[in-house]
A and B are shown apart, each in its own frame.
Chain A
Amino acid sequence: GENVEQHPSTLSVQEGDSAVIKCTYSDSASNYFPWYKQELGKRPQLIIDIRSNVGEKKDQRIAVTLNKTAKHFSLHITETQPEDSAVYFCAALYNFNKFYFGSGTKLNVKP
């Protein structure tokens, strides 16, 4: 099966700074990597995703990079705002059917 590791578990940044969250996966057959934002008591919401045939994807202040050789992918948030504070989860799609999630990063953006 797949194993997804996520770091750091907590991240505190000053408003306006950048935040980077990193994930590694174990199975080279995984080919789709979404990132979710989960606010307290709410459902996970997809914020960006990347497929294995792409190295980088950007959507306004959010970007994701993928290194297939090293089997790691990262979430980059620039110009952070207090409303970015939440728990962020990475995931990897294994065998087209199963999603494996990281353990989450609690991001705190200090105003």
Chain B
Amino acid sequence: DTGVSQDPRHKITKRGQNVTFRCDPISEHNRLYWYRQTLGQGPEFLTYFQNEAQLEKSRLLSDRFSAERPKGSFSTLEIQRTEQGDSAMYLCASSSSGNEQFFGPGTRLTVL
């Protein structure tokens, strides 16, 4: 499968725990995006990487959220001290310079 992949697909955690999600973009894509999507809403931009550089970060991304893309390939999104309001679908997308984004299947986070 040469599309965008995300792991895990589902994560259930207790409030206060830390979670980490992984995204593997399409191999030749240098741009990588993270979004959060809640039920009935469109994806909300969280952060953007061009290669390994994090060039944009939304104000939605509080100090509990951090993202990395250390080698310009896969990326991780970590949420520390999870809260119930963090429950959502976390989507990753990648693109080349042509702007067209390809989305991964998402990681559904449930915080109990």
A: which residues have CB within 8 A of B? Answer: 4, 6, 32, 34, 36, 42-46, 49, 89, 91, 93, 95, 97-104
User: Residue-by-residue, is B24-49 near A (CB-CB < 8 Å gives 1, otherwise 0)?
Assistant: 00000000010100001111110010
| A99-B101 in contact (CB<8A) | yes
Q: Which residue of B40, B41, B42, B99 contacts A93 across the interface (Cβ within 8 Å)?
A: B99
Q: Give CA–CA (A97, B58) in the complex, Å.
A: 11
Query: Residues of B contacting A102 with CB < 8 Å?
Result: 42
If the complex has contacts A97-B55, A98-B56, are A46 and B101 also in contact, measured as CB distance less than 8 A? Answer: yes
Interface residues on B, range: 20 to 34
Task: Determine the distance from Cα of A45 to Cα of B56 in the docked complex, in whole angstroms.
Answer: 23
For B33, B43, B50, B55, the residue with the greatest tally of chain A CB atoms inside 10 Å of its CB is B43
- Tell me how far the C-beta of B4 lies from the nearest C-beta in chain A, rounded to whole angstroms: 8
> How far is A103 from B45 in the complex, measured between Cα atoms in Å?
13
Residue of A nearest to B58 (CB): A98
**How far apart sit A45 and B41, CA to CA, in the bound complex (Å)?**
15
Q: Which residues of A contact B56 (CB under 8 A)?
A: 95, 97-98
Stretch touching chain A among B62-70, B79-87, B103-111: B103-111
Assess A89 versus B101: contact at CB under 8 Å? Given A43-B106, A97-B55, A99-B33.
no
In the complex, are the beta carbons of A104 and B100 less than 8 A apart? Answer: no
Q: B99 to A103, Cβ gap below 8 A?
A: no
B residues contacting A by CB (< 8 A) are: 33, 35, 40-45, 48, 50, 55-56, 58, 91, 99-106
A-B contact pairs, 22 of them (CB 8 A): A6-B42, A32-B99, A34-B100, A42-B105, A43-B91, A43-B106, A44-B91, A44-B103, A49-B99, A89-B42, A89-B43, A95-B56, A97-B48, A98-B45, A98-B48, A98-B56, A98-B58, A99-B45, A101-B43, A102-B42, A103-B41, A103-B42
**B35 neighbours in A (Cβ, 8 Å):** 101
Q: Considering only CB atoms, which chain B residue lies closest to A91 in the complex? A: B42
Q: Which residue of B lies closest to A46 (CB)?
A: B100
